[in-house]
């Protein structure tokens, strides 16, 4: 049996018996080093250097900023703006949930965090309007996944570090796909809600309430304008923008809305520590990724896939199917780190832009947020709604279809993804 087969079997067995993923990857990496007689210091050195890149600090800072905005009153005001903008029509509260998640996604950078922030308010509201609870939870889970696509995105930051792709270009590339997927989710929500006669009570849209809500929430809307405007305008880097976001959320929560307390700030710090603890995956997965070069895995994969087809569209569809399957049981962070080094050389050799592949990777990870048994967003939505993940898993299927449609559109029309970064920063060479 070849060393590569032994390593693959070891990783699959460790994963299936429930060993924590970072431990499974670490053991597999140590086994691979032993089989090809490379000093174990590679694992230690990679573990150290994986946590030293300065842009990595962006992730906990954006998570902290998003949490402070949630508990400091900014999320509620965003929901107020979205509610008054949509008005009382069929499925209006579902549409509000999607729209509010899109707005909050521009602050948190995290799918589960966006689901928790918006869903804790909108799921009870949808229950009161007579929505089927699994459907309400499915809307929240699927819209919350936008937190990983609309910039700033934690997964895009990780992909940028692993692939050495410009993070500002990735952020800019996520805007149009983010709006496209948002539109597809809103259409799906409206069609199902209209068929089931959900919502429609209350006041129709009028300018007065909307303008009052917009004025009350102007500081909330100012956050994404300041953060994204500063990044794209060249005023500060994404990491500096994350620091600005934390300061802005503290200032608004403490001195403008006055809803932040010391207890809430401490709770936000605790939440950030727990959520960003997943970065422990970086150390073993990056070492494992380096080993793929020693075992010539990218070449093996390239030869295997190109023996089936060398059409870039079909190759991306094959990779997308693989990513969606892997996402059912593998954490998205590990998925990005492990497989970017395997598939990126292949798609680049076929003429696919690394920025496009980054956005494509993030969309497939978003689908992973919605598929059991792992399904991070499903877990959060189940906790908010008080129902089982199994019931939400069925209700979320139409929204998964919407994500897949969005993924296919972006594969077929790559300019939708590349237009903004190429226009702002020039065509990458």
Is residue 24 one of the residues assigned to a domain?
Answer: no
- The answer to the question of residue 3 being in a domain is no
How far is the C-alpha of 130 from the C-alpha of 136, rounded, in Å? 10
The rounded distance, in Å, linking the Cα atoms of 213 and 79 is: 9
How many domains, in total, are found in the chain?
1
DSSP 215-271: HHTHHHHHHHHHHHHHHHTTSS-HHHHHHHHHHHHHHIIIIIS----HHHHHHHHHH
pLDDT for the residue numbered 87: 62
d(CA 390, CA 125): 22
Does some domain include residue 16? no
Range(s) of the domain holding residue 268: 39-425
pLDDT at 396: 93
Q: What is the pLDDT of residue 271?
A: 83
Contact yes or no for 115/219 (Cβ under 8 A):
no
99 is a domain residue: yes
What is the distance between the terminal CA atoms of the chain, rounded to a whole angstrom?
42
Per-residue pLDDT of the chain (429 residues; tens, 9 = 90+): 677 788 878 888 887 787 877 788 888 888 888 887 777 777 777 777 777 777 778 888 888 888 888 888 887 887 788 777 766 677 788 888 898 888 888 777 777 878 888 888 888 888 888 889 999 999 999 998 888 888 888 889 889 988 989 988 999 999 999 999 999 999 999 999 989 888 766 566 677 777 888 888 888 888 888 887 888 787 888 888 889 989 999 999 999 999 999 999 999 899 888 777 777 777 777 777 777 767 777 777 788 888 888 899 999 999 999 898 888 877 788 888 888 888 998 999 999 999 999 999 999 988 888 888 777 888 888 888 888 888 899 999 999 999 999 999 999 999 999 999 998 877 665
Decide if 10 is inside a domain: no
Label residue 263 exposed, middle or buried (CB < 10 Å: 0-12, 13-18, 19+): exposed
Q: What is the pLDDT of residue 429?
A: 55
Q: How far is CA 427 from CA 166, 230, 357, in A?
A: 12, 21, 15
- What is the reported pLDDT for 357? 96
Q: Would 119 be classed as within a structural domain?
A: yes
Q: What is the pLDDT of residue 233?
A: 80
Which residues, 6 or more positions from 422, have their beta carbon under 8 angstroms from its beta carbon? 428
Q: What does the block give as tokens for 119? A: 């869903």
Give me the helix-helix angle, 207-216 and 218-232, nearest 10°: 70
Q: Is residue 328 part of a domain?
A: yes
C-alpha pair distances (Å), 90 with each of 98, 131, 175, 193, 339? 14, 11, 27, 6, 42
pLDDT of the residue at 205: 63
d(CA 66, CA 72): 10
Would the CA dihedral through 208, 211, 215, 219 be positive or negative? positive
Q: Please state, in angstroms and rounded to a whole number, the distance separating the CA atoms of residues 335 and 276.
A: 16
């Amino acid at each position: 049996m070849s060393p590569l087969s032994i390593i693959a079997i070891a990783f699959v067995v460790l994963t299936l018996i429930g060993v924590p993923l970072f431990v499974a990857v670490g053991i597999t990496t140590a086994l691979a080093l032993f089989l090809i007689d490379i000093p174990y210091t590679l694992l230690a050195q990679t573990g150290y250097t994986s946590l030293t890149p300065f842009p990595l600090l962006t992730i906990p800072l954006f998570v902290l900023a998003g949490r402070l905005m949630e508990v400091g009153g900014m999320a509620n005001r965003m929901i107020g703006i979205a509610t008054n903008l949509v008005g009382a029509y069929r499925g209006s509260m579902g549409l509000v949930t999607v729209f509010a998640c899109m707005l909050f996604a521009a602050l948190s950078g995290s799918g589960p965090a966006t689901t928790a922030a918006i869903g804790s308010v909108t799921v009870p509201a949808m229950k009161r309007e007579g929505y089927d609870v699994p459907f309400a939870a499915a809307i929240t889970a699927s819209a919350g996944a936008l937190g990983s696509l609309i910039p700033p995105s934690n997964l895009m930051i990780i992909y940028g570090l692993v692939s050495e792709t410009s993070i500002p270009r990735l952020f800019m590339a996520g805007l149009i796909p983010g709006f496209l997927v948002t539109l597809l989710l809103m259409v799906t929500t409206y069609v199902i809600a209209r068929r089931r006669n959900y919502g429609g009570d209350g006041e129709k849209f009028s300018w007065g309430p909307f303008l009052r809500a917009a004025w009350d929430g102007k500081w909330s809307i100012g956050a994404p304008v300041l953060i994204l405007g500063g990044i794209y305008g060249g005023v500060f880097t994404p990491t500096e923008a994350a620091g600005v976001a934390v300061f802005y959320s503290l200032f608004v929560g403490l001195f403008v809305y006055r809803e932040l307390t010391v207890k809430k700030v401490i709770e936000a710090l605790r939440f950030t520590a727990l959520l960003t603890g997943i970065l422990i995956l970086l150390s073993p997965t990056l070492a494992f990724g380096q080993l793929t070069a020693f075992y010539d895995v990218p070449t093996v994969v390239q030869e295997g896939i190109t023996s089936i087809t060398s059409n870039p569209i079909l190759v991306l569809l094959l990779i997308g199917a693989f990513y969606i399957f892997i996402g059912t049981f593998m954490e998205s962070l590990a998925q990005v780190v492990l497989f970017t080094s395997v598939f990126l050389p292949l798609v680049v050799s076929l003429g696919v832009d690394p920025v496009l592949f980054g956005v494509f990777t993030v969309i497939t990870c978003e689908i992973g947020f919605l598929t059991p048994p792992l399904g991070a967003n499903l877990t959060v939505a189940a906790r908010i709604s008080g129902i089982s993940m199994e019931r939400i898993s069925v209700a979320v299927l139409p929204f998964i279809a919407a994500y897949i449609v969005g993924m296919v559109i972006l594969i077929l029309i790559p300019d939708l993804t590349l237009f903004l970064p190429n226009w702002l920063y020039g065509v990458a060479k």
